Amino acid sequence: ESGLADGVQANSLALTYYDDDGNTISSPTVGLGTTTNLRRIRIQMTFAAGSHSLPVQIDLRPRNLRHESNVFF
């Protein structure tokens, strides 16, 4: 756990990777000079302060991971 603000903790962090078809990828192919199958990253976190918690989720579609057709799913 890491303190984000006075009394606020990040209790969990999960990353999920997706391909062009929206399927989850357990080990995305990445690297310089390598074609990647990674198109979207979902980040899920839960913040807590005392007895209160706040789940947060965001989906990222980095420009440099765009498919050759330049279309995001």
Report pLDDT digits (tens) over 18-61.
Answer: 988 899 999 887 777 767 788 899 999 998 888 888 999 999 98
CA 39 – CA 19 distance, rounded (Å): 5
1 pLDDT exceeds 60?
Answer: no
So what's the pLDDT on residue 11?
Answer: 81
Place of tokens 């999960």: 14
* Confidence band for 9, pLDDT divided at 50, 70 and 90: confident
73 pLDDT exceeds 70?
Answer: no
3-class DSSP assignment, residue 45? strand
So what's the pLDDT on residue 3?
Answer: 55
CA R_g for the chain: 16
Which one-letter amino acid corresponds to residue 72?
Answer: F
